[in-house]
Chains A and B, each alone.
Chain A
Amino acid sequence: MLEARLPAASILKKIVESIKDLVSQANFDCSESGISFQAMDESNIALSSFLLRADGFDPYRCDRKLSLGIRFATLSKILKCAGNDDVVVIRYADDTDILSLVFEAPDNNRISEFDIKLLDISSEYLSIPEQEPECKVKMSSAEFSRICRDLITIGSSVVIDATKSGVKFSSTGDDGSGSILIKQSASVDGDGKAAPQTTVEMSEPVSLELSLKYLNNFTKAAPLSEYVVMNMTNDSPLMLQFDVSDIGYIRYFLAPQIKD
Chain B
Amino acid sequence: QKTQQSLLSFFKSP
The interface on chain A, measured as residues whose beta carbon lies within 8 A of the other chain's beta carbons, has a size of 25
Chain A to chain B: the 7 pairs with minimum beta-carbon distance, closest first: A126-B11, A260-B1, A255-B5, A257-B2, A44-B6, A255-B7, A127-B14
**A209–B4 CA distance with the chains assembled, in angstroms:** 9
CB contacts (< 8 Å) of A237 on chain B: these are 7, 10-11
**A258–B10 CA distance with the chains assembled, in angstroms:** 14
Q: Are B7 and A253 in contact (CB under 8 A)?
A: yes
Q: Are A124 and B13 in contact (CB under 8 A)?
A: yes
Instruction: Give A5-64 interface residues, CB cut-off 8 Å to B.
Output: 40, 43-47
Say which residue of B2, B3, B4, B11 sits within 8 Å of A128 (CB atoms).
B11
CB contacts (< 8 Å) of B11 on chain A: these are 47, 126-129, 237, 253
Q: Are B12 and A257 in contact (CB under 8 A)?
A: no
CB B5 to nearest CB in A, in angstroms, measures 4
A163 contacts the other chain (Cβ, under 8 Å)?
no
CB A195 to nearest CB in B, in angstroms, measures 35
Q: Which of A125, A255, A260 counts the most chain B CB atoms within 10 A? A: A255
A110 contacts the other chain (Cβ, under 8 Å)?
no
CB B1 to nearest CB in A, in angstroms, measures 4
Given contacts A125-B14, A127-B12, contact A45 B7 (CB under 8 A): yes
Say which residue of B2, B6, B12, B13 sits within 8 Å of A255 (CB atoms).
B6
**A47–B10 CA distance with the chains assembled, in angstroms:** 12
Say which residue of A126, A127, A129, A260 sits within 8 Å of B2 (CB atoms).
A260
CB contacts (< 8 Å) of B5 on chain A: these are 45, 255-258
